[in-house]
Chain A
Amino acid sequence: MSRLTFTLLSEPPERLDLSPLVPARLASMAMHEVEKIRLGVSKHSLAVGDVFRLSGADVSAIVFEGGSRRFDCAGALLDSGTIRIAGDVGAQTGRRMSGGSILVEGSAGPHAGSGMSGGRLEILGDAGDFTGGPLAGELAGMSGGTLIVRGRAGDRAGDRMRRGLLAVLGGCGDYAASRMIAGTLAIVGGSGRMPGYLMRRGSILVDRMPQMLSPSFVESGAWDSVFASLADRHLIAEGIAQEPLLGRTVRRYCGDNAVLGKGEILVAAQGS
């Protein structure tokens, strides 16, 4: 069976909520029913058939040919199967996904991978602010799985992260891993100001000194741990990085001492 493919007809005239287009919700539907699913969020109430041309039948592998900054919530609540989007997406891609994989070939808006708990979300372009972070009022952001941003991530990537791996390969904005509860954020390409702002536990791995380190972090002295080489090996084995991020010598800063202070920022020494 060929993959279920949604080919974008033209730039949609309103924001779309793509959360219904995941394998679990499409599994028992006939094609003509799928075409009637409402995606629009304004009074125009666009349906699938108004925006996409459909082909293929295998709902476990969904492809969007063409993307748009107006595609919100693509792959939300995904629990199995794959979704590939050949283009950009809007906000909350992979929101609360728990399994399966999503590949975004363009760039993503804010809250990509928000609250995800499992699976793999990879963004080849840039990601907006609050990558992996919670929506307003929620207590935890990303709580599992792997989130990879090949381009640059905006501010507050990994906000309130609790578990899992978030890797950013084109650099981060300010306040990366702000309010982090636990988990791992790996950054290649440097980070903006004050990474780990109010982090409680967790690890931030970064290939060079951040633009500004919060004064409530302190250097922990000479550090000897196998964690750095394990992390490097894992990133390479997973196909996330090509070469070691931290290398042999690592400087370690502990914090944020304004809160619990059990977190750490690991900086590759050669880059500092």
Chain B
Amino acid sequence: MLTKIAGGEIIDPVGGRHGVGDLWIEDGVIVDPPAGRNAETTVDASGCIVMAGAIDIHSHIGGGNVNTARLLLPEHHSAHLPRPSETPLSNLGWTAFQTGRLYAQMGFTTVVEPAMAPGNALHTHLELADIPIIDKATLAVLGNDDFLLSLIRDNASSSMIEDYVAWTVASSRALGAKVINAGGSAAFKENVRRFSLDDIVPSYGVSSRKIVKTLQMAVQNLGIPHPLHVHCNNLGMPGSVDTAAATIAAAEGVPLHLAHLQFYGYGTEGKRRFSSAASQLAEQVNATPEITIDVGQVMFGQTVTISSDVLRQFSARGNAHPKKSVIFDGDGNGGGIVPYRYRKDFYGSLQWAIGLELFLLITDPWRVFFTTDHPNGAPFTAYPALFELLMSKEARREMAEGLSASALALTTLLAIDREYTLEEIAVMTRAAPARLLGLKDRGNLAAGAIADVAVYRKGKDIAKMFGSAAFVFKDGELVVKDGEVVAHRWGRALRLAPQPDKTMVRRLEAYHQERYGLSLDWFDFPDWAIAREQPFSEVACAA
């Protein structure tokens, strides 16, 4: 079917298009304007902007920890019965199915779950398969697992480590690899409670730095498009800026992605020994071209923090609100679920401002990514409000009025005049994520790209514009109209398929038999286990 999206302002930084024009779609892909043919369906996009579907690179939408959070907070479910606005916790706690709908309504068409424990891969993919409309992807978590730490301790060759990473990514159907507080969770099991980049994991004699560097090189050499996704040590601690700075410096010219950098923008100045170090961090990111970051912006209100950084979550459990938490000191990373309310007090105001400083002071929109680390900084439903803050200094000033003045005085936020342009938004949320993840088929509106298109009606109210898209197309099918979901379809999980080495598979089989008394088959699964017609879509590794 030939569809024409007529008369919208097309913003496609990759194709260099910016101006009013038509966009043509046929058979799920974007096509050049066909000569001499009329569209079977025409969508009137006058007064609208037309962008590629947005891509979220870091949002915890499925997997074991997400379900544990649901178990911990059953009152969130009742908050979604008929009277949501009158009940506490009404802004989070929706189902997997609702996740897809809410993302699509905002014009997002691809979302990455960034922390899949490889052992949880089947469950994670089953859950992601229940999320409609959008395409999904996962990152496999490595770096605290006994097998890898033992390889590093025993000075295994880099090709052996690459074989292991390749097997993990392939068997867990991931799109990349992530390391969470490298070595920190393993050290936690030995009662370590503070762990930095150059600290040594007891029993393995391996430093956190060594783990990060090893995985970074393995990802690079395997040709995995997405650079190693790093959740640094010391998340959320005053002075964590030093850890982030050391990690950035450790990239040494090879691509590295730092997740939710906001949580590392903390200095130790002021009488509370808690201050903004965002400008220092932004400067360093600007000067280090191999680094990409996502922000993990904090927005105010109730949320729940979900992390496989068990060491961090263990120390944060005293701040839980409501006062309950789950700490899971399990195999590999373990994890922790700590509900939290971001208040407009000194600490909350500072965190909020630091995130925005990073957004605004990092100059290259190709290297800074739009996230709230859902749900850790805020649920993803806060995105429209965040777009407004980025695009309007007036909105920032208005918001700042209700916040802690002494906190904001420690930041540069109110002195920053920068406002994101629509073009920059398109880069940050479409073009750049596609390039970062190696997804050549999306994030742009050139002929041949899959027809994931978001159309927003222009208006003064930026939050409203991005909160409820006028039209959204997924693979050429109209799925959202005037902010309402009009069609459900099942997306796919994007995955890499590096070929695992046979010797490594034999070795892993022996390891799992010896350690767990289980066949390696327990840690792999056939595609048909995900009962969808086409559950996965393969993304190519670089040669």
Contact = CB atoms under 8 A, between A and B. Distances in A.
Interface of A: 41, 135-139
Can you list the 3 inter-chain pairs with the closest CB atoms, starting with the nearest? A137-B75, A137-B74, A136-B74
A195 B82 CA distance: 36
Given A136-B74, A137-B72, 14 more contacts: A41-B82, A135-B74, A135-B75, A135-B78, A136-B75, A136-B78, A137-B73, A137-B74, A137-B75, A137-B76, A138-B75, A139-B322, A139-B323, A139-B324
Contacts of B82: 41
A40 to B, nearest CB: 10
Interface residues of B, number: 10
Contacts, number: 16
A139 B82 CA distance: 23
Interface string B304-330: 000000000000000000111000000
Contacts of A139: 322-324
A86 B231 CA distance: 61
Interface of B: 72-76, 78, 82, 322-324
Most B C-beta atoms less than 10 A away, residue of A136, A137, A139: A137
Contacts of A41: 82
A98 to B, nearest CB: 16
5 contacts: A135-B74, A136-B74, A136-B78, A137-B76, A139-B323
A37 B315 CA distance: 48
B67 to A, nearest CB: 15
A195 to B, nearest CB: 25
B85 to A, nearest CB: 15
B134 to A, nearest CB: 28
A41 B83 CA distance: 11
A41 B78 CA distance: 14
Contacts of A137: 72-76
A139 B321 CA distance: 11
B230 to A, nearest CB: 34
Nearest to B78: A135
A137 B326 CA distance: 13
A115 to B, nearest CB: 11
A34 to B, nearest CB: 18
Nearest to A138: B75
A135 B82 CA distance: 17
A74 to B, nearest CB: 16
B111 to A, nearest CB: 27
A136 B324 CA distance: 13
B514 to A, nearest CB: 38
Nearest to A136: B74
Nearest to A41: B82
A97 to B, nearest CB: 16
A52 to B, nearest CB: 20
A56 to B, nearest CB: 27
B220 to A, nearest CB: 45
A180 B72 CA distance: 20
A137 B76 CA distance: 8
A139 B322 CA distance: 8
A46 to B, nearest CB: 14
B490 to A, nearest CB: 27
Contacts of B75: 135-138
A84 to B, nearest CB: 26
A136 B323 CA distance: 14
A183 B61 CA distance: 41
Contacts of B73: 137
A41 B75 CA distance: 19
Contacts of B74: 135-137
A168 B463 CA distance: 54
Nearest to B82: A41
A198 to B, nearest CB: 15
Nearest to B322: A139
